[in-house]
C-alpha cells in the first residue's frame, strides 16, 4: 500500500487531526524508517532498522539551523504554528542527540513563537532512560503510546523489537506523575489470519484501568486514517465508537480528545 516517509528534517506545517497546525521535525533518515516498534498500522511502512548508531542522521546543529530557517520564514509570512512536533520516520527519541535538540527547539520556539507548543510523539519505550525522560518532561505535550493493556495485543498491534511488558510500561507511565498525554489507536480487522480488535469490552475495560492508574493530563483517542503497511484487512473504528470510549475516560475526570 501507499505508505510514505518524510524526506526532510522540517516538514509542513500540516493540519494535524490531533494537534492543529503542526510544524514537523524528523530526526531520522529521510530514506528509511528507524523504530523499535513495527506497528501494523504505521503510515511510514515497515520497520527494518530498530536502532541507530547516529550515522545517516541529521546532526544537532543541522536540525537547529533547519528549524530556525523555517521559523524565521513563518514569522516573516505571518504564519503561526499551533505546535512544533517531533514525529517523522520512526521513534524520535532514538536520536543520540535528542535531549540537546529538545533544548534547541525550546530556545527557538521562545524566540519566534513563544505561544506555540512543543510536542513529541513517542512509543513510550525509552522513558526509563534518564536523559530521555528529562527531555520529554521539558516539552508541552509529552505524547506517549499505549494501545492496549494486554501483552498479546501489544505484540500483535505494535510488534515491538525490544522487550515490552505492559505491566512495566504502565508503571513507567504512572511514574511520570501526570506529565504526559496518552495516545491510543483503536482498530479492528484481520492480520495474518487472526482477528484483531482492541475495542472489545475486555480490551477497553483493561485499558481504562491502566488510564486510571497512569492519570495522564489528557488522552488522545484516534484510529487509522491512511494506508497501512501490508494493505491487509484492517479497518478504522467509527467516530461514534471512539466517542463512546472517550465518554468512559471522561468519567475518570481526564480530558479526552477524539480524532476519527
Taking CA atoms, 233 is separated from 189, 227, 240, in Å, by: 5, 11, 21
Report the pLDDT value the prediction gives residue 229, as an integer from 0 to 100: 77
Residue at grid coordinates 508541552 = 140
Whether residue 76 contacts residue 84, with contact meaning beta carbons closer than 8 Å, is answered with no
β-sheet bridge partners, residue 15: 21
Q: Which residue segments constitute the domains of the chain, with CATH numbers given?
A: 10-182 (3.20.20.70)
CA 20, 23, 27, 31 torsion: positive or negative?
positive
Report the pLDDT value the prediction gives residue 228, as an integer from 0 to 100: 79
Report the pLDDT value the prediction gives residue 2, as an integer from 0 to 100: 53
Report the pLDDT value the prediction gives residue 16, as an integer from 0 to 100: 80
Q: How far apart are CA 199 and CA 142, in angstroms?
A: 24
Kindly give the confidence (pLDDT) of every residue in the chain, 260 residues in length, as a single tens digit, with 9 standing for 90 and above. 456 788 899 999 988 877 889 999 999 988 888 999 999 999 888 888 766 776 789 999 999 999 999 999 999 999 999 999 999 899 999 999 999 999 999 999 999 999 999 999 999 999 999 999 999 999 999 999 999 999 999 999 999 999 999 999 999 999 999 999 999 999 999 988 889 999 999 999 999 999 999 999 999 999 998 777 776 689 999 999 999 999 999 999 999 999 87
Amino acid at each position: 500500500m501507499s505508505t510514505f516517509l518524510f524526506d526532510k528534517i522540517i516538514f509542513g506545517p500540516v493540519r494535524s487531526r490531533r494537534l492543529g497546525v503542526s510544524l514537523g521535525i524528523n530526526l531520522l533518515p529521510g530514506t528509511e524508517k528507524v523504530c523499535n516498534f513495527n506497528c501494523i498500522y504505521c503510515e511510514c511502512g515497515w520497520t527494518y532498522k530498530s536502532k541507530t548508531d547516529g550515522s545517516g542522521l541529521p546532526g544537532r546543529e543541522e536540525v537547529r539551523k533547519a528549524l530556525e530557517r523555517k521559523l524565521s520564514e513563518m514569522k516573516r509570512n505571518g504564519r503561526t504554528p499551533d505546535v512544533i512536533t517531533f514525529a517523522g520516520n520512526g521513534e524520535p527519541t532514538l536520536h543520540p542527540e535528542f535531549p540537546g535538540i529538545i533544548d534547541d527547539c525550546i530556545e527557538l520556539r521562545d524566540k519566534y513563537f513563544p505561544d506555540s507548543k512543543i510536542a513529541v510523539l513517542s512509543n513510550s519505550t525509552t522513558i526509563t532512560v534518564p536523559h530521555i525522560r528529562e527531555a520529554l518532561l521539558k516539552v508541552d505535550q509529552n505524547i506517549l503510546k499505549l494501545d492496549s493493556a494486554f501483552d498479546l495485543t501489544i505484540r500483535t498491534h505494535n510488534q515491538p523489537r525490544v522487550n515490552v511488558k505492559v505491566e512495566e510500561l504502565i508503571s513507567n507511565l504512572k511514574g511520570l506523575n501526570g506529565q504526559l498525554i496518552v495516545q491510543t489507536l483503536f482498530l479492528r480487522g484481520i492480520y495474518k489470519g487472526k482477528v484483531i480488535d482492541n475495542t472489545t469490552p475486555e480490551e477497553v475495560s483493561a485499558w481504562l484501568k491502566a488510564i486510571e492508574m497512569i492519570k495522564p493530563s489528557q488522552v488522545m483517542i484516534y484510529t487509522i486514517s491512511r494506508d497501512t503497511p501490508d494493505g491487509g484487512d484492517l479497518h478504522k473504528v467509527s467516530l461514534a465508537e471512539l466517542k463512546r470510549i472517550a465518554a468512559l475516560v471522561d468519567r475518570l475526570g481526564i480530558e479526552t480528545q477524539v480524532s476519527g
